Amino acid sequence: MQKIRVRAHAKINLYLDVVGKREDGYHNLETIFHSIGLHDDVIIRKRDTKEITVRCEHPAVPSDASNLAYRAAQRLSDAVGGIAGVSIEIQKRIPVAAGLAGGSANAAAVLHGVNELFGLGFSQETLMRFGAQLGADVPFCLHGGAALGTGIGDELTRLPALSDLPLLLLNPGIEISTAAVFKMLNFSLTKPENAGIIIRTLMEKVDVLSISEGLYNLLEVPVFAEYPEIATLKTELSTQAGCFGALMSGSGATLFAVMQDSESARRSESYFKNRVSFCTTTVTSPVGVYIKD
Ligand code: ATP
């Protein structure tokens, strides 16, 4: 086998609470991740030389060693004392710096794909440990489906995945740095009374209406304070016909809505399409990375 094509799925957070600040500067979270159908394609080819190269046409994605996909290939190469080089081509569809873990998904796809392409034989657990060294969301992107994330989001407990739940995603075109959002956090914030309900609901039964009512993301507070136009967009999204609930994903700025059915998702997509920089319908996905051929 000379090349492998891996689908790298984006994630949303159905619930995100920050439960404390750690001495190393990171924050401890309680979050529920879910993979979604929206994905990048990552094509990995063996090279004759030992070099790792990355190519992506998106202008905001680096092609050097700072690309998370490059770092993932380097991590595996280091673990086995050097492998033959690889060229990595990223066909980007996931908006960048948008709270959808695009970079982390690419890194997960490279860990999974290079492991298969070279028959390295690392277990999923070991790949997830390597992933955690690259970024807090990488282990979930390898895990896929639905999971409760604790620690910095890298300690995962599997939850039942929601099958083909219709979603609408909107991004107003504001790139937000995750680090900047955490800096703006104010720990005296009080939580709404239903905070935590979604975790219990998902653990006990898969009830879409209760899940939609329990959608919660503490990071909306600092992000909406800085960018009130995102809050306005969320209100408009929430009042669309067939919208069960809406939330900002991760540190934003992407908003998602859980929709009653694919027809109402498509109707709202046409409503927003010409007004935001990115708008698409998708569904929840049971997988995070997937080998296509
Ligand atoms: P998270 O929710 O994990 O913080 P995000 O979806 O908000 O992620 P990314 O799309 O992963 O953000 O991009 C964050 C930054 O990482 C970008 O500004 C980009 O310069 C850099 N980056 C490095 N590698 C990649 C990659 N493979 N794809 C996208 N961005 C990358």
Q: Which atom of ligand 1 is nearest to the CA of 67?
A: 24
Domain 166-283 CATH (choose: 3.40.50.720, 3.30.43.10, 3.30.365.10, 3.30.70.890):
3.30.70.890
pTM of the shown model? 0.94
Question: For ligand 1, is residue 31 a contact (CB within 6 Å)?
Answer: no
Q: Two tokens at 102?
A: 């695009």
Q: Per DSSP, what are the bridge partners of residue 212?
A: none
- The DSSP H or E segment spanning 30 is strand 27-46
Q: Residue 127: is its pLDDT beyond 70?
A: yes
More confident residue, 200 or 253: 253
Q: Residue 198: is its pLDDT beyond 70?
A: no
Q: If you classify domain 3-159 with CATH, what class do you get? A: alpha beta
Query: Hey, do 3-159 and 166-283 end up sharing a CATH topology, with the first three levels equal?
Result: no
Whether the CB-CB separation of 219 and 16 falls below 8 Å is answered with: yes
- Residues annotated as catalytic are 11, 137
What is the structure's pLDDT at 202?
Answer: 65
Interval 242-271: pLDDT, tens:
999 999 999 989 999 999 999 999 999 999
Taking the centre of ligand 1 as the mean of its atom positions, its distance from the CA of residue 200, in whole angstroms, is: 31
CA atoms within 13 A on the CB side of 1: 14
What does the DSSP 8-state code read for residue 284? B
* Mean pLDDT score, 80-95: 94
DSSP letters, 94-110, are SPTTSSS-HHHHHHHHH
Q: Which atom of ligand 1 is nearest to the CA of 106?
A: 27
- Interacting residues of 287 by C-beta distance below 8 A, sequence separation 6+: 7, 9, 35, 144, 145
Q: Residue 154: is its pLDDT beyond 70?
A: yes
Q: Residue 200: is its pLDDT beyond 70?
A: no
What is the structure's pLDDT at 225?
Answer: 92
Domain ranges of the chain: 3-159, 166-283
Q: Two tokens at 104?
A: 């982390």
Interval 4-41: pLDDT, tens:
999 999 999 999 998 888 888 888 899 999 999 999 99
Q: Whose CA is nearest to atom 30 of ligand 1?
A: 103
Mutate to test the pocket of ligand 1, among 35, 96, 140 (most ligand atoms within 8 A of CB): 96
Question: For ligand 1, is residue 40 a contact (CB within 6 Å)?
Answer: no
Angstrom distance (rounded) from CA 247 to CA 234: 7
Lowest mean pLDDT among 18-27, 137-146, 189-198, 268-277: 189-198
* Mean pLDDT score, 86-109: 97
Whether the CB-CB separation of 169 and 180 falls below 8 Å is answered with: no
Whether the CB-CB separation of 111 and 68 falls below 8 Å is answered with: no
CA atoms within 13 A on the CB side of 276: 27
Question: For ligand 1, is residue 10 a contact (CB within 6 Å)?
Answer: no
Amino acid identity, position 94? I
